[in-house]
Amino acid sequence: MKIGLGYDVHKLVCNRPLILGGVNIPFHKGLLGHSDADVLTHAIMDSLLGASCLGDIGKHFPDQDERYKNISSLKLLSKVSDLIKDNHYIIENIDSTIIAETPKLSPYINYMRENISKTLNISISAINIKATTEEGLGFTGKGEGMAAQSICLLNEINK
């Protein structure tokens, strides 16, 4: 068994879509980044890469590489899934938290779980996503950005 921890943060700006877990969420601001800046999916990727000792998303998808400009993070997650399988691991479960003051994310959580489940080809019951606020504290509480944390459990499969 291997456990991995992931964290990501992006600034909120005007004139960008807000995408979390591959879901386009109606909001007056979106996350700034080289790709679609999906903090949830980025945190999940980093937890998976960390558990399998394969580095982080910056190593595999550098933000200076034009191939990843505005790319869907679900496409990157699919590549991470291939790396996990190629290194003889299976995903047992993923538990993630999105940290954002607004908008309310509960109506979109199951859609996020479905997207991640399909992309990783694992049961939706192996994916938990929560959302919380920071009660007006810090950069997320002031609405300046969003963050996400993720932890996962991998098992090595017999080669």
- Using one digit for the tens of pLDDT, what is the confidence trace for 89-135? 999 999 999 999 999 999 999 999 999 999 999 999 999 999 999 99
- Report the alpha-carbon distance of residue 109 to residue 80 in Å, rounded: 22
Annotated binding residue at 22?
A: no
Indicate whether 159 pLDDT > 70: no
**Taking Cα atoms as reference points, which of 22, 56, 46 lies closest to residue 36?**
22
Annotated binding residue at 132?
A: yes
- Report the alpha-carbon distance of residue 85 to residue 121 in Å, rounded: 11
Annotated binding residue at 86?
A: no
pTM of structure: 0.96
Annotated binding residue at 42?
A: yes
Annotated binding residue at 36?
A: no
Q: What is the pLDDT of residue 29?
A: 97
Annotated binding residue at 139?
A: yes
Q: Which domain holds residue 103?
A: 2-156
Number of domains composing the chain? 1
Annotated binding residue at 47?
A: no
Per residue in 133-148, pLDDT (tens digit) is: 999 989 999 999 999 9
CATH of the domain at 105: 3.30.1330.50
